[in-house]
Structure 1
Amino acid sequence: MAVANSFVTGGSFNCDYLSSTSCSSSSSPSVDHQVRFFGSRRRIKPLVYWTRSHSLSPKCELSSDSVVKNGKKESRTSSLSALELLKTSAADRYTKESSSIMVIGLNIHTAPVEVREKVSIPEAQWPQAIRELCSLNHIEEAAVLSTCNRIEIYALALAQNRGIKEVTEWMSKFSGVPVTELCQHRFLLYNQDATQHLFEVAAGLDSLVLGEGQILAQVKQVIKNGQGVPGFGRKISELFKRAITTGKRVRTETNISSGSVSVSSAAVELALLKLPEYSSSTARVLIVGTGKMGKLVIRHLVAKGCKKMVVVNRTEDRVAAIREELTDTDIVYKPFSELLACAAQADVIFTCTASKAPLFIKESVQALPSVNFEDGDQKLFIDISVPRNVEPSVAELEGAGVYNVDDLKEVVEANKEDRLRKKMEAETIIAEEVKQFEALKDSLETVPTIKKLRAYAERIRSAEVDKCLSKMGDDIPQNKKKAIYDLSLGIVNKLLHGPMQHLKCDGAENRTLSEILENMHALNRIFGLDTEISVLEEKVRAKMEQNQKQSS
Structure 2
Amino acid sequence: MLLSYCNQIINIILRITLHPPHSFFSPPTPMAAVAGSASASASLPSSSARFRRSLPPSPSQLSFPRSRIPTRSLLSDNSIPQNAVVAASKPSPLQLLKTSAADRYTKEKSSIIGIGLNIHTAPVEMREKLAIPEAQWPQVIADLCALNHIEEAAVLSTCNRMEIYVVALSQHRGVKEVTEWMSKVSGVPIPELCKHQILLYNKDATRHLFEVAAGLDSLVLGEGQILAQVKQVVKTGQGVPGFDRKISGLFKQAISVGKRVRTETNISSGSVSVSSAAVELALMKLSESSFANARVLVVGAGKMGKLVIKHLVAKGCRRMVVVNRTEEKVNAIRHELKGVDIVFRPLSEMLECAAEADIIFTSTASESPLFSKENVQMLPSVSQGERRRLFVDISIPRNVEPGVSDLDTALVYNVDDLQEVVAANKEDRLQKAAEAWGIIQEELNKFEAWKDSLETVPTIKKFRAYAERIRAAEMEKCLSKMGNDVSKEHKEAIYALSMGIVNKLLSGPMQHLRCDGNNNHSLDEVLENMRALNRMYDLETEISLMEEKIRVKMGRAQK
Q: TM-score range by the shorter chain?
A: 0.7 to 0.9
C-alpha spacing 1:98/1:490, structure 2 compared with 1 (3 Å): farther
User: Which residue type is aligned with residue 419 of structure 1?
Assistant: R
Question: 2:462–2:541: 8 Å Cα contact kept in structure 1?
Answer: no
Match of 1:216 in 2: 227
2:407 corresponds to 1:397: yes
User: Which residue type is aligned with residue 415 of structure 2?
Assistant: V
The Cα offsets for residues 250-278 of structure 1, whole Å up to 9 and x where unpaired, read as 10000211111111011000000111324
Which of the numbers 333, 342, 353 marks the counterpart of 1:331?
342
The Cα offsets for residues 396-419 of structure 1, whole Å up to 9 and x where unpaired, read as 111311000111111111112221
Match of 1:487 in 2: 497
Matches of 2:167 and 2:459 in 1, distance apart? 19
Deviation, 1:197, is 1.0
Deviation, 1:534, is 5.3
In the TM superposition, what are the counterparts of 1:115-514 in structure 2 within 5 Å?
Answer: 115-374=126-385, 377-507=387-517, 511=521, 513-514=523-524
TM-score w.r.t. length of structure 1:
0.81
In the TM superposition, what are the counterparts of 1:93-132 in structure 2 within 5 Å?
Answer: 93-94=104-105, 96=107, 98-132=109-143
TM-score w.r.t. length of structure 2:
0.80
Deviation, 1:126, is 0.3
C-alpha spacing 1:348/1:91, structure 2 compared with 1 (3 Å): farther
In the TM superposition, what are the counterparts of 1:498-537 in structure 2 within 5 Å?
Answer: 498-507=508-517, 511=521, 513-533=523-543, 535-536=545-546
Match of 1:61 in 2: none
Question: 1:288–1:312: 8 Å Cα contact kept in structure 2?
Answer: yes
Matches of 1:89 and 1:300 in 2, distance apart? 60
C-alpha spacing 1:372/1:348, structure 2 compared with 1 (3 Å): closer
Match of 1:12 in 2: none
The Cα offsets for residues 311-340 of structure 1, whole Å up to 9 and x where unpaired, read as 111222221221222221111112222212
Question: 1:87–1:93: 8 Å Cα contact kept in structure 2?
Answer: no
* Bigger-Rg structure (1/2): 2
Question: 2:458–2:545: 8 Å Cα contact kept in structure 1?
Answer: no
The Cα offsets for residues 89-126 of structure 1, whole Å up to 9 and x where unpaired, read as 68992475531111111111111111111001110000
Match of 1:80 in 2: 66
The Cα offsets for residues 423-456 of structure 1, whole Å up to 9 and x where unpaired, read as 1100101111111111111111110111010011
User: Which residue type is aligned with residue 182 of structure 1?
Assistant: L
Matches of 1:233 and 1:432 in 2, distance apart? 24
SS in 2 for 1:511: helix
C-alpha spacing 1:542/1:432, structure 2 compared with 1 (3 Å): closer
Identity %: 72
Matches of 1:485 and 1:395 in 2, distance apart? 81
Matches of 1:227 and 1:78 in 2, distance apart? 27
For structure 1, the 5+ residue unaligned runs are 1-76
Matches of 1:323 and 1:393 in 2, distance apart? 34
The Cα offsets for residues 285-314 of structure 1, whole Å up to 9 and x where unpaired, read as 100010110111001101111000011112
C-alpha spacing 1:181/1:364, structure 2 compared with 1 (3 Å): same
Matches of 1:509 and 1:250 in 2, distance apart? 22
Deviation, 1:541, is 7.4
Question: 1:204–1:213: 8 Å Cα contact kept in structure 2?
Answer: yes
C-alpha spacing 1:208/1:305, structure 2 compared with 1 (3 Å): same
Deviation, 1:245, is 1.0
Matches of 2:396 and 2:191 in 1, distance apart? 23
C-alpha spacing 1:541/1:320, structure 2 compared with 1 (3 Å): closer
User: Which residue type is aligned with residue 195 of structure 1?
Assistant: T
The Cα offsets for residues 57-113 of structure 1, whole Å up to 9 and x where unpaired, read as xxxxxxxxxxxxxxxxxxxx9812455898566899247553111111111111111
The structure in which a higher percent of residues are helix is 2
User: Which residue type is aligned with residue 397 of structure 2?
Assistant: P
C-alpha spacing 1:208/1:291, structure 2 compared with 1 (3 Å): same
RMSD between aligned alpha carbons?
2.4
SS in 2 for 1:301: helix
User: Which residue type is aligned with residue 335 of structure 2?
Assistant: E
Matches of 1:257 and 1:95 in 2, distance apart? 46
